[in-house]
Structure 1
Amino acid sequence: MEKYGAGPIVVLDYDPNWPAMFETERARIEHALGSLALAIEHVGSTAVEGLPSKPIIDLMVGVPGLAEARECCIEPIEALGYHYIPEYAAWLPGELFFRKGPPGPWTHHLHLMEPSNPRWETLLVFRDYLRAHAEVSHAYAEIKQALAASSREDIAAYRNGKTRFVEETTAKARAWRANLSGR
């Protein structure tokens, strides 16, 4: 069992402070990385107003190249209090993953990748669809809350339990975006 931080998985009601927490961290990362940070996005459930979430701010940082990022970005990000987790490369290929906070519960996750990584678009389209469709966001909240209760400390069970919903919703989100852009 892959344990979650320092205790059971908790999904909290939406906190209106989450966007400000993201903005604070975005500014710190932008300052630390300079021109290496092509874009910094707030993703994950804390990026969707009204959506209950694990209280972890997910940041996605776009960089020109992953090899250069390995050489130039790890140290400045770690200086901000993040811990680089290299073993996550097997689970999240094409990105560098960092956590911030005491050794669980974590307060921030940072996903550093090239914007051409397919996961970049996936995370953005899923976020944007949830922001635009309150009924889908509500259904996702119910799934997350039930999984948090049943998974307890098993983060893999929690994550895997969301997979079908996330994949189906992402497919709908891509169709929705294509329709919006007239493609």
Structure 2
Amino acid sequence: MSESSKPSGPDATTVELVGGAEAVEVGLHSYDDRWAAIYADHRRRIGDALAAVHVDIEHIGSTSVPGLAAKPIIDIVVIIDDITAEEDYLDALLAAGYELRVREPGHRLVRTAARDVHVHLLERGDPAIDEYILLRDHLRSNADDRALYESTKRRLLNKQWRDMNDYADAKTEVIDAIKARARAARGA
């Protein structure tokens, strides 16, 4: 087992942000058809690395929504059976070229060295998975909410942010409103 892995057992109890806070330096780009191909390449790479583990892999975030401007960072969620069993997935992802960025309760994040692909690892059944998919699918089908979300991101990226997480937190109110409409639209 490498130094980066921890044995199975209780989950992380704090947030470990490997490398500390990072300023947001990326602007929005018009939707790029290449994003789907980049996702497909990483889906294969992750699938190959985790071939011995039961996983589901989904493209999430703004780059997964055709027509939506986005920071050119591909977000991927990998759904695993046990987040605490890092020996089942973390070493394999590190060997495949990803770097550990976040270890927190219920969530791990690895990314490429270029920081252009973020891989979120969540445990099967985590409600965040359904929330990611709900938002993605709604934005794919609802032009008004897609435009609202894009204009919100453009407005927020005109500000200076100490950390990418602060920018993400600033979008929460709009995202929650969009997801509420998405739930209402699907009758939930």
Interval of TM-score (by shorter of Structure 1 and Structure 2): 0.7 to 0.9
Is the aligned partner of 1:164 residue 2:173?
A: yes
Residue 144 (structure 2) aligned to one of 126, 135, 151: 135
* Alpha-carbon distance, 1:152 to partner: 5.3
What residue identity is the alignment partner of 2:29? Answer: L
**Alignment match, 1:3:** 22
1:77 aligns with 2:89: no
SS of match in other structure, 2:37: helix
Q: Judging by fraction of residues, say which structure has more helix.
A: 1
Query: Secondary structure of 2:50's match?
Result: helix
Shift of 1:35: 4.4
Instruction: Name the count of aligned residue pairs.
Output: 169
Please state whether the residue corresponding to 2:28 is helix, strand or coil.
coil
**Any idea what the Cα deviations from partners look like across 1:51-102, whole Å, max 9, x if unmatched?**
011100001011111122x12211111122211124x41xxx3111112133
Q: Which residue of 2 aligns with 1:101?
A: 113
1:116-156 superposed Cα distances (whole Å, 9 cap, x missing partner)? 00101110101001001011111111111111111356424
Cα separation, partners in 2 of 1:23 and 1:37, compared to 1, 3 Å: farther
TM superposition shift of 1:13: 0.8
User: Who is 2:3 aligned against?
Assistant: none
Alignment partners' CA distance in 1, 2:142 and 2:120 = 25
Unaligned residue ranges in structure 2 (runs of 5+): 1-19
Q: 1:66 aligns with which of 75, 80, 83?
A: 83
1:175 corresponds in structure 2 to 184
Partner of 2:35: 18
Correspondent of 1:112 among 114, 121, 127: 121
Q: Give the secondary-structure state (helix, strand or coil) at the position aligned to 1:175.
A: helix
Q: Does 1:123 align with 2:132?
A: yes
Structure 1: stretches of 5+ with no match in the other structure: none
Query: What SS does the aligned partner of 2:51 have?
Result: helix
CA–CA distance in structure 2, aligned partners of residues 19 and 100 of structure 1: 17
Q: Which residues in structure 2 correspond to 1:46-61 (within 5 Å)?
A: 46-61=63-78
* Cα pair 1:99 1:108 within 8 Å, conserved: yes
What is the alpha-carbon distance in structure 1 between the residues aligned to residue 112 and residue 131 of structure 2? 23
**Could you tell me the TM-score, scaled by structure 2's length?**
0.83
The residue type equivalent to 1:3 in the other structure is: E
Greater shift after overlay, 76-85 or 15-24?
76-85
Q: Distance in 2 between matches of 1:38 and 1:161?
A: 31
Contact kept in structure 2, 1:37 and 1:61, CA below 8 Å: no
1:17 shift after superposition: 0.4
